[in-house]
Amino acid sequence: MRKMLKIGIWLVSIIFILLIIFFCYLFLGSAPKQEKIVWGIDFSQMQAESLKLNWKQAYLAVLDDLNAKNIKLHTQWDWVEGKKDYYFFDDIDWQINQAKQRGAKIIYVVGIKTGRWPECHMPSWTNGLSKEQQQNELLKYIKEVVLRYKDNSTISDWQVENEPFFVFGECPSWYYSDKNFLKKEVDLVKSFDSTRQVIVSDSGEQSMWFSPAKIGDKVGITMYREVWFHIIDGIGFNLDYFLPPVSYSRKAQIINKIFKKDVICIELQAEPWAEEPFNKISLEEQEKTMNLDRFQKNVEYAKETGLDTFYFWGAEWWYWLKTTQNKPEIWNEVKVLFQTN
């Protein structure tokens, strides 16, 4: 009995020491600085319209005024296939063609959960279908998208789903529980287009990124500094993530060592995150979680993570600030950043 107790104490001590070593590795030190950083923009037509903007003007301003050369295009299944088997690609065609004319590259996000509330964008005609029927219809839609754009050189990568392992948003009951369906989606994309890498993304702060690394060719992560932490309806608080920037570099090193996969930031916070959607709160309230000072700090923080690619989340909001609130400061800051990079 005493011998077993000694063995137990020894094992606990070893585990404790290993945890300390891992903690030090993950959170202490600094990441190597990247000589060249690729900056990009996330763009959502739906988000621009929700801010009552002329979405085409906003998109062209991103391309022409900011001179963005890397765009992550968020598309919604319910917007493309609002009626079963009738596909409306005109707006997406236009966005891709405009990018092509300017030599910009696009990461195309496809799936059911593709970003922006309610996160999962299911056509209303899928309501009442069984799980298998919904999944089959989604696979048909993905096939249509890939076949339409696989020969377009403007598409640099596919991203299948948006943070599919991070439980957030209004999604069908099977979405997070069916662990095999995401791989079916990725395999389908690769079966029709083997020339491009498929990005699978996850929360940058609340994950070790193993799940996307197992399935995707490249790991996409988010990077948020201040978020609204929801407890129950009407109750929550603003949470400042305390993670040191080196933690991203160290996790990326682990992913590269184990899976031989690259890690990029496909969503760098550059807009407010409050209890309500920011188009429903005052400008004063919006600026509590994002303003020029916070934006500049986020950029410097990103540079210290050791990653070399970042896509800003919030361009529609900057354009709204610039054109409707006479506050072009963040827009102009991005413009200078892109010019000097």
Domains in the chain and their CATH numbers?
A: 38-340 (3.20.20.80)
For residue 230, what pLDDT is reported?
A: 64
For residue 104, what pLDDT is reported?
A: 98
For the stretch 290-305, pLDDT in tens is: 999 999 999 999 999 9
CB atoms within 10 A of CB 94: 13
For residue 116, what pLDDT is reported?
A: 94
The mean per-residue pLDDT over the stretch 240-249 comes to 89
For residue 278, what pLDDT is reported?
A: 79
Name 37's Cβ contacts closer than 8 Å, sequence gap at least 6. 303, 308, 309, 310, 341
Residue 85 has pLDDT above 70, yes or no: yes
Residue 162 has pLDDT above 90, yes or no: yes
For residue 231, what pLDDT is reported?
A: 66
- Banded pLDDT at 26 (limits 50, 70, 90): confident
Residue 323 has pLDDT above 90, yes or no: yes
Residue carrying structure tokens 């899928």: 126
The mean per-residue pLDDT over the stretch 95-122 comes to 97
Residue 228 has pLDDT above 70, yes or no: no
What's the mean pLDDT when you consider all of the chain?
A: 93
The mean per-residue pLDDT over the stretch 171-181 comes to 95
The mean per-residue pLDDT over the stretch 271-296 comes to 88
For residue 279, what pLDDT is reported?
A: 75
